[in-house]
Amino acid sequence: MTEEHFIPKTYSKTLENGSFTWSSPSNIALVKYWGKKEHQIPENPSVSFTLDYCKTTTTLSFSKKENNDTFSFDVFLENEQKDDFKPKIETFFKRIESYMPFLKDYHFKIETSNSFPHSSGIASSASGMSALALCLMSVEQSLGEVEVTEAYFNQKASFLSRLGSGSACRSIEGDVIVWGTHQEIDGSSDFFGIKYPFDVHQNFKNYQDSILLVDKGEKQVSSTVGHNLMHDHPFAERRFEQAHENMSKLISIFKTGDLDAFIKIVESEALTLHAMMMTSMPYFILMKPNTLEIINKIWAYRIETNSKVCFTLDAGANVHVLYPESEKESVMEFIKNELVTHCQNEHYISDQIGFGANQIQL
Ligand code: PMV
């Protein structure tokens, strides 16, 4: 399949105006996407758990405009106009214009809200871009694009989301999502995310993710800058190979439910992501002292109690604490008693992996 597949053939209807609302979740990568080629093509495959609570809800209203030579839109976050979001959306529109040829025909009002605090340091780009892509797919569907089956709808929504923010393409469908071609996973693609096609052991059902907010500030390094640091990075090629190897290992871990092996891959992936940033030029340290305090306490707790709790990190200082549902009570106690003290204003968000339908049209 090529990108041409997503260029619509004909629209059989005309629409003066309308509005659609979608809610879409965030996701947390286990094997990390870090490094991309042109057109948001990932350098390596990644796999993520979809989150159940952390979501963005977006209403896209549209009305036909006179001329069709520019993009025209306004953005609101929690009812407040946000002109600083516009450049990112303008870039997104430019990237997807050939796949959504109606974009310049309408003025859009984009009203968005998050289930988590905006200033929490939690990246909202995955849930935000996927919610917007789903709304645009609904517009296309109502224009009578002939090809739109449910499978095509989701695939193209993921394809478009990727062009907004790479990891957003893993927020469209299902609970465990793979993005990027991997030789053992039939149907995996660099263009869009797919539902992980093999068995996932009961041990991972309702897996818990408590997000410890160590630093709620703006990201020190934007992910665009971060991905670009992988160009000419001395360890890049080996890292991309390692991601393929870790994906292969996870396939059997998901099947057997081997949580000790799961922990090794997940923590190593998180530390590798940060190691890549520490060894790029320029170099960055995105962990804070409290990130390390939390990691060390998790390791000590694991030795003391034989727990299967582990951590993963995004490109920032916050810590995602992952643990099986069977340990929910004990690990929550541990978090409250020992870890929240390392969070900014003692803030954390408890989430879990969504095993059902994640995005909802409202
Ligand atoms: O989607 P982006 O371009 O913001 O990249 C996100 C990359 C990580 O969150 C660090 C890892 C991942 O796979 O989600």
Within 8 A by CB and 6+ apart from 223, the residues are 123, 125, 165, 166, 315
The answer to whether residues 329 and 181 belong to one domain is no
The answer to whether residues 214 and 186 belong to one domain is no
Centre of ligand 1 to C-alpha 166, Å, is 7
Alpha helices in 40-194 (DSSP H): 86-96, 125-142, 150-164
Tokens 């393929």 -> residue: 244
CATH of residue 132's domain is 3.30.230.10
Which of 163, 198, 233 is the last residue before a domain boundary?
A: 198
The answer to whether residues 268 and 166 belong to one domain is no
The answer to whether residues 149 and 31 belong to one domain is yes
CATH of residue 227's domain is 3.30.70.890
The answer to whether residues 111 and 211 belong to one domain is no
For residue 359, tell me if it sits in a domain.
no
Q: So what's the pLDDT on residue 218?
A: 72
The answer to whether residues 125 and 237 belong to one domain is no
The answer to whether residues 67 and 185 belong to one domain is yes
Question: CA-to-CA distance for 195 and 176, rounded, in angstroms?
Answer: 6
The answer to whether residues 117 and 211 belong to one domain is no
The answer to whether residues 57 and 191 belong to one domain is yes
Q: Which residues of 84-97 are buried (b: 16+ CB within 10 A; e: fewer)?
A: ebeebbeebbebbe
Domain with 72, as residue range(s), is: 3-198
The answer to whether residues 116 and 162 belong to one domain is yes
Of all atoms in ligand 1, which is nearest to the CA of residue 28? 14
pTM (two decimals): 0.96
Q: What is the total residue count of the chain?
A: 362
Kindly report the number of other CB atoms within 10 A of residue 194's CB atom: 21
Centre of ligand 1 to C-alpha 304, Å, is 33
Cβ(165) – ligand 1 distance below 6 Å: yes
Cβ(167) – ligand 1 distance below 6 Å: yes
Of all atoms in ligand 1, which is nearest to the CA of residue 273? 10
Per-residue pLDDT of the chain (362 residues; tens, 9 = 90+): 889 899 998 888 999 999 999 999 999 999 999 999 999 999 999 999 999 999 999 999 999 999 989 999 999 999 999 999 999 999 999 999 999 999 999 999 999 999 987 766 676 799 999 999 999 999 999 998 766 788 899 999 999 999 999 999 999 988 999 999 999 999 999 999 999 999 999 999 999 999 999 988 777 888 889 999 999 999 999 999 999 999 999 999 999 999 999 999 999 999 999 999 999 999 999 999 999 999 999 999 999 999 999 999 999 999 999 999 999 999 999 999 999 999 998 889 999 998 555 567 77
Q: So what's the pLDDT on residue 117?
A: 77
Centre of ligand 1 to C-alpha 103, Å, is 26
**Domain total for the chain?**
2
Q: So what's the pLDDT on residue 119?
A: 64
For residue 338, tell me if it sits in a domain.
yes
Of all atoms in ligand 1, which is nearest to the CA of residue 31? 13
For residue 81, tell me if it sits in a domain.
yes
Which of 131, 166, 198 is the last residue before a domain boundary?
A: 198
Question: CA-to-CA distance for 122 and 159, rounded, in angstroms?
Answer: 23
Centre of ligand 1 to C-alpha 168, Å, is 8
Pocket mutation for ligand 1, best pick of 167, 171, 225 (most atoms within 8 Å of C-beta): 167
The answer to whether residues 116 and 163 belong to one domain is yes
Rg (CA), the chain: 20
Residue nearest to atom 4 of ligand 1 (CA): 223
The answer to whether residues 273 and 223 belong to one domain is yes
Which of 153, 174, 198 is the last residue before a domain boundary?
A: 198
